[in-house]
């Protein structure tokens, strides 16, 4: 999943932030509702008990002493025990300190309309043998809690109505209903957050991917401009306009280069004809070599620009393509060896990719005498390794050799080093396929030229559309 593969992405941060905020709010609301429910049950029970005590007190005042015990026995409840005694069951000097207990006693005094000295009250709320306390922690261990109240009410004739109310309350903090409600809410919130975050972050992710591919020299499809917030749409429109301008610039530059190269062919041919009329000698030979070099440069440029402007991407097998290039060299007697590889289907511009591979093999033959070609793949990408036994390249010059017309040897003889376009063209082609080329000197001598190219099996896979190299 995206948020697992990219823990630092905007999508992951949005999901974590929104889900976290929702869960905190839901948990706080759920906790508050549980507390309100418990408080409501407690208040209702206290009020009902007070009304029963008041009603019983009034009944006792209307009865003679000898009938009070029988009446209390008849009206006693499971949770409440009554008795009429000559003294209160709560010591007269007992003083309440808990504000809630004091409020309950004041309520009973109001109901009975008696002076405070005629009413004694005691209250507790505890689990098993815990110290008496009115406060109950709802997150403590879930076990039955005894909620108790003791009353002493003075009757009109001086006797006292004593009553004890005990009620065992089973906390329902983690009831099955509450648990399933919370889990369902979490899943619904997470699903909604995931969907919303994905819709908001996907346009930005597509923009970042397209910008990365454009920077590598790939041609990318236009971004959708009707998705996401207004700011994202504006960014997508700006990117599409920028990409179109870059493509036009590259195409115009390529066409101009092709036109110039084409126009140079005629004067080069005329010059060669005139040089052929000169007398034989060293000057004539050098002039012919210079003209041949110019012609090779023009032909290489024309061939490259023609492929770039006209070739479309097709489905091919990379292993077969590389093997065919190696066979072409082997058929002409060059020491090129290919290590067979499994089939690697991909979408590519076959002529351009063949040219890039051929240029690397020609370099290996020119400077190392032999070329060994192999392929390795990890599923997502492939590496084409062209190894030679030559002297290698100094580390400071590893990148410079990819610049057009750069040759490390001082000689300008095309037979020994070409015209300096081979590596430049090869890298341009490979980057146009979303890959790159790197050079590496081997510890035991020789150079490895490695083409790194992604395995694209569909023109639309991950938005990659191969058309032209940059």
Indicate the pLDDT class of residue 169, thresholds 50, 70 and 90: low
pLDDT score for 304? 65
Q: How far apart are the first and last CA of the chain?
A: 33
Indicate the pLDDT class of residue 96, thresholds 50, 70 and 90: confident
Say yes or no to pLDDT of 218 above 50.
yes
Q: Could you give the C-alpha distances from 61 to 153, 155, 159, 258, in angstroms and in order?
A: 11, 6, 10, 119
pLDDT score for 380? 76
- CA 365 – CA 359 distance, rounded (Å): 10
Torsion angles phi and psi, residue 326, rounded to 5: -65, -40
Say yes or no to pLDDT of 211 above 60.
yes
Segment 98-106 shows an average pLDDT of 89
- CA 280 – CA 269 distance, rounded (Å): 19
Q: DSSP letter for 63, please.
A: S
Residues 306-362 have pLDDT tens digits of 655 556 778 899 999 999 999 999 999 999 999 888 888 888 888 889 989 999 999
pLDDT score for 461? 44
C-alpha count within 13 angstroms, C-beta hemisphere, residue 417: 12
- CA 459 – CA 222 distance, rounded (Å): 14
Three-state secondary structure of 30-46: HHHHHHHHHHHHHHHHH
- Min mean pLDDT across 159-168, 292-301, 362-371, 428-437 is at 292-301
pLDDT score for 3? 46
Indicate the pLDDT class of residue 291, thresholds 50, 70 and 90: confident
Burial string for 4-27 (b: 16+ CB within 10 Å, else e) reads: eeeeebebbebbeebbeebbeebe
- Min mean pLDDT across 126-140, 363-377, 434-448 is at 126-140
Residues 453-470 have pLDDT tens digits of 888 765 544 333 433 333
Q: Which residue has the higher pLDDT, 51 or 464?
A: 51
Q: Give the DSSP per-residue string, 423-446.
A: HHHHHHHHHHTT-EEEEEE-TTS-
Structural contact between residues 88 and 189, judged by C-beta atoms closer than 8 angstroms: no
Q: Is 392 left (phi over 0), alpha (psi -120 to 50) or beta?
A: left
Q: Which residue has the higher pLDDT, 389 or 29?
A: 389
pLDDT score for 357? 94
**Residues 52-59: contacts with CB under 8 Å, at least 24 apart:** 52/77, 52/80, 53/108, 53/151, 53/153, 53/161, 53/163, 54/108, 54/111, 54/112, 56/82, 56/161, 56/163, 57/112, 57/153, 57/155, 57/161
Closest CA to 367 of 422, 326, 405: 422
Say yes or no to pLDDT of 21 above 90.
no
pLDDT score for 448? 94
Segment 136-143 shows an average pLDDT of 49
Say yes or no to pLDDT of 228 above 90.
no
Helical (H) or strand (E) element with 305: helix 282-310
Domains and CATH numbers, the chain: 2-177 (no CATH), 231-463 (3.30.565.10)
Segment 151-171 shows an average pLDDT of 86
Residues 415-456 have pLDDT tens digits of 444 556 788 888 888 887 888 999 999 998 899 999 998 887
Q: DSSP letter for 93, please.
A: T
pLDDT score for 383? 93
Say yes or no to pLDDT of 127 above 60.
no
Q: Which residue has the higher pLDDT, 437 or 379?
A: 437
- CA 206 – CA 246 distance, rounded (Å): 19
Highest mean pLDDT among 7-21, 123-137, 372-386, 421-435: 372-386
For helices 10-62 and 176-215, what crossing angle results, to 10°?
160
Say yes or no to pLDDT of 138 above 70.
no
The whole-chain average pLDDT of the chain stands at: 79
- CA 74 – CA 395 distance, rounded (Å): 107
Q: DSSP letter for 118, please.
A: G
Q: Give the DSSP per-residue string, 366-390.
A: HHHS-EEEEEEE-SSEEEEEEEE-S
């Amino acid at each position: 999943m995206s948020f697992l593969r990219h823990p630092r992405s905007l999508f992951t941060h949005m999901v974590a932030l929104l889900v976290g905020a929702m869960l905190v709010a839901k948990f706080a609301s759920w906790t508050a509702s549980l507390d309100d429910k418990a408080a409501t049950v407690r208040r209702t029970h206290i009020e009902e008990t007070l009304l029963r005590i008041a009603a019983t007190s009034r009944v006792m005042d209307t009865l003679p002493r000898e009938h009070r015990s029988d009446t209390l026995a008849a009206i006693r409840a499971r949770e409440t025990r009554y008795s009429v005694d000559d003294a209160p069951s709560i010591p007269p000097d007992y003083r309440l300190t808990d504000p809630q207990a004091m409020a309950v006693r004041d309520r009973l005094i109001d109901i009975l309309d008696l002076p405070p000295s005629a009413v004694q009250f005691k209250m507790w709320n505890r689990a098993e043998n815990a110290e008496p306390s009115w406060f109950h922690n709802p997150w403590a261990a879930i076990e039955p809690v005894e909620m108790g109240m003791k009353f002493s009410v003075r009757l009109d004739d001086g006797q006292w109505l004593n009553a004890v109310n005990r009620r065992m309350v089973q906390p329902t903090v983690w009831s099955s209903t509450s648990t399933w409600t919370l889990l369902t809410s979490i899943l619904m919130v997470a699903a909604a957050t995931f969907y919303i975050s994905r819709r908001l972050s996907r346009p930005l992710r597509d923009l970042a991917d397209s910008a990365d591919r454009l920077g590598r020299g790939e041609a990318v499809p236009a971004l959708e401009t009707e998705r996401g917030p207004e700011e994202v749409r504006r960014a997508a429109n700006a990117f599409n306009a920028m990409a179109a301008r870059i493509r036009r610039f590259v195409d115009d530059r390529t066409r101009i280069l092709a036109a110039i190269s084409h126009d140079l062919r005629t004067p080069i041919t005329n010059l060669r004809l005139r040089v052929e009329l000169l007398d034989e000698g060293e000057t004539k030979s050098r002039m012919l070599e210079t003209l041949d070099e110019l012609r090779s440069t023009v032909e290489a440029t024309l061939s490259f620009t023609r492929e770039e402007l006209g070739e479309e991407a097709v489905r091919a097998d990379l292993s077969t393509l590389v093997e065919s290039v190696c066979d072409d060299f082997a058929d002409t007697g060059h020491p090129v060896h290919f290590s067979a590889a499994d089939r690697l289907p991909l979408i590519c511009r076959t002529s351009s990719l063949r040219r890039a591979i051929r240029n690397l093999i020609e370099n290996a033959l020119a400077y190392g005498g032999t070329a060994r070609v192999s392929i390795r793949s990890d599923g997502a990408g492939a590496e084409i390794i062209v190894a030679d036994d030559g002297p290698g390249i100094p580390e400071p010059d590893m990148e410079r050799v990819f610049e057009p017309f750069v040759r490390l040897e001082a000689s300008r003889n095309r037979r020994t080093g070409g015209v300096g376009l081979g590596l430049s063209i090869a890298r341009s082609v490979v980057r146009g396929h979303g890959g790159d080329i790197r050079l590496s000197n081997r510890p035991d001598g020789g150079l490895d030229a490695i083409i790194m190219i992604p395995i694209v099996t569909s023109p639309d896979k991950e938005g990659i559309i191969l058309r032209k190299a940059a």
